[in-house]
Amino acid sequence: MPKVDVYNIEGKKIETIELNDEIFGIKPNKTVVHSVLVNYLANQRQGTQSTKTRAEVSGGGKKPWRQKGTGRARQGSIRAPHWIKGGIALGPKPRSYKYRVNKKERRLAIKSVLSSRLQEEQLIVVDKVEFKEIKTKQMVKALENLKVNEKALMILPEQNKNVYMSARNIENLKTITVNTINIFDLLKYTKLILPVETVKKLEEVYA
């Protein structure tokens, strides 16, 4: 089992714990990670883009000129696609881009990234993150103590208003909870900050 040091928010090492091999000790599967990421991004698309066909553009009901005898090409409507202000042929219409991937794949992708962060020494485990009041300075100080200079993702065991509000205005720091964990955030942020309680919940859910 992989071992990792546990720090407090003052940056002092207080103990060493063992992590579950099934979550933090697997060989990362890049193919599955990519597949799940593409699925996540596709599911975020709104699909609201739309264009009007010649049937939806106003005007064009009358034939612009008679069929024969004018010397010009025959036309049935001034709203045909090749006319200025005409309808759009084969343009986009509102649609859903959503599709599903296997639950096992999603779980494997998350475990792959968690294992990868540990192997890259980009995972920090803290005993707990709690503030008595909303104070951005406290969060900034905690990050300095933990020597976090990269983009960091803090995964909390449950919603904590004081911690969330204290971190909200810090650039390159995002806080989420275990039940909102997703592949996009895990890949976007270089450093992972996990309280011990979060580690326990991850092992309960993904082991």
**Number of domain units in the chain:** 2
Residue 1 has pLDDT above 90, yes or no: no
Are residues 89 and 110 both part of a single domain?
A: no
- Give tens-digit pLDDT for 67-126: 999 999 999 999 999 999 999 999 999 999 999 999 999 999 999 999 999 999 999 999
Are residues 115 and 171 both part of a single domain?
A: yes
Are residues 23 and 87 both part of a single domain?
A: no
Are residues 191 and 120 both part of a single domain?
A: yes
Of 96, 131, 155, the domain-final residue = 96
pLDDT of residue 2: 86
pTM: 0.84
- Give tens-digit pLDDT for 155-167: 999 999 999 999 9
Of 96, 114, 134, the domain-final residue = 96
Are residues 73 and 12 both part of a single domain?
A: no
- Give tens-digit pLDDT for 136-146: 999 999 999 99
100 token code pair: 């599903």
pLDDT of residue 102: 93
What is the spatial distance between Cα 200 and Cα 151, in angstroms, rounded to a whole number? Answer: 24
Are residues 88 and 13 both part of a single domain?
A: no
pLDDT of residue 152: 95
- CATH code assigned at 202: 3.40.1370.10
Is the separation of the CB atoms in 5 and 125 below 8 Å?
yes
Query: Containing domain of residue 150, as a range?
Result: 3-45+97-206
Are residues 174 and 88 both part of a single domain?
A: no
Model confidence at 134, pLDDT cuts 50, 70, 90, reads very high
Are residues 53 and 143 both part of a single domain?
A: no
What is the spatial distance between Cα 90 and Cα 147, in angstroms, rounded to a whole number? Answer: 54
Are residues 104 and 150 both part of a single domain?
A: yes
Are residues 68 and 127 both part of a single domain?
A: no
Residue 151 has pLDDT above 90, yes or no: yes
Instruction: Please work out, in degrees rounded to the nearest 5, the angle formed at the alpha carbon of residue 26 by the alpha carbons of 150 and 102.
Output: 95
Give me the mean pLDDT over the 190-197 stretch: 95
Are residues 55 and 135 both part of a single domain?
A: no
Are residues 58 and 41 both part of a single domain?
A: no
Of 65, 96, 127, the domain-final residue = 96
- Give tens-digit pLDDT for 26-57: 999 999 999 999 999 999 999 999 999 999 99
